[in-house]
Amino acid sequence: MEANWIRALMVVGFIFFPLLVQGRVRHYNFNVVMKKANRLCATKSIVTVNGHSPGPTLYAREGDTVLVRVVNHVKYNVSIHWHGIRQLRTGWADGPAYIAQCPIQPGQNYVYNFTITGQRGTLFWHAHILWLRATVHGAIVILPKRGVPYPFPKPDVEQVVILGEWWKSDTEAVINEALKSGLAPNVSDAHTINGHPGPISSSCHTQDVFVAVYEIK
Ligand SMILES: [Cu+2]
């Protein structure tokens, strides 16, 4: 009778202990697609992840494994770098094109597979080829393991803030021109908060303004 108990406990332990130690697997789909964007009284097509710039925020806990399937639907070669993530024995998931991997060609896909070990906080991901990072970027929020607090009081609200830049012209044209001439690339037309320049010159488009919605409990 007692042996059965021990056996049952061992079975439960074998199932749940690895879950506690290793964490969950988090799946994300990144569809790299073109999208029309209106900013600073001008419209242009930009490269995005899932039609948004900044793209989706990744959420994971320390110890989790992150799987991101990137499908390339644009005419450019693409790769994504997980900025600040320690790639322990997963160098092929780091992202720099022609260094850690061959870029993902148009019509192709690639699954980034890495485990987050020994780090927490907010990092970011971005394209790591050409100048696609101008619009292909987003945040990675790494929460502590369940039951482990941050070393500061729990905030009332949390908001991801990504600072970027906006060029009215196509960013690939900007970098190509600079490489051809040998001169510095044209400076951007505006800085952005979460992809929005703000109503700086005039407010042609509602997309110029970033609006944060808070629910304070
Ligand atoms: Cu980076």
Q: How far is the CA of 165 from the centre of ligand 1 (A)?
A: 15
Q: How far is the CA of 17 from the centre of ligand 1 (A)?
A: 34
pLDDT band at residue 7, thresholds of 50, 70 and 90? Answer: confident
Q: Residue 118 pLDDT more than 70? A: yes
CB 29 within 8 A of CB 66: no
Q: How far is the CA of 217 from the centre of ligand 1 (A)?
A: 35
pLDDT band at residue 173, thresholds of 50, 70 and 90? Answer: very high
- Arithmetic mean of pLDDT over the chain: 90
The pLDDT score that the predictor gives to residue 152 is: 87
pLDDT band at residue 208, thresholds of 50, 70 and 90? Answer: confident
Who surrounds ion ligand 1 at CB < 5 A? 83
Span 102-129, average pLDDT: 97
Percent helix / strand / coil, the chain, rounded to 5? 20, 35, 45
141/215: higher pLDDT: 141
Q: How far is the CA of 177 from the centre of ligand 1 (A)?
A: 23
Q: Residue 200 pLDDT more than 60? A: yes
Running DSSP on this structure, what letter comes out for residue 207? G
28/13: higher pLDDT: 28
The pLDDT score that the predictor gives to residue 143 is: 94
Residue pLDDT, tens place only, 18-77: 555 668 999 999 999 999 999 998 999 999 999 999 999 999 999 999 999 999 999 999
Q: Residue 125 pLDDT more than 90? A: yes
Q: How far is the CA of 146 from the centre of ligand 1 (A)?
A: 28
Give the integer Cα–Cα distance in Å for 26 and 29.
10
Q: Residue 161 pLDDT more than 90? A: yes
CB 97 within 8 A of CB 103: yes
pLDDT band at residue 8, thresholds of 50, 70 and 90? Answer: confident
Q: How far is the CA of 82 from the centre of ligand 1 (A)?
A: 7
Give the integer Cα–Cα distance in Å for 113 and 93.
6
Q: 104-130 burial, b if ≥16 CB within 10 A, otherwise e?
A: beeeebbebebbbeeebeebbbbbbbb
Q: Residue 84 pLDDT more than 60? A: yes
Q: Residue 88 pLDDT more than 60? A: yes
Tokens of 173: 């044209």
This prediction has a pTM of 0.87
Could you tell me the domains of the chain?
24-208 (2.60.40.420)
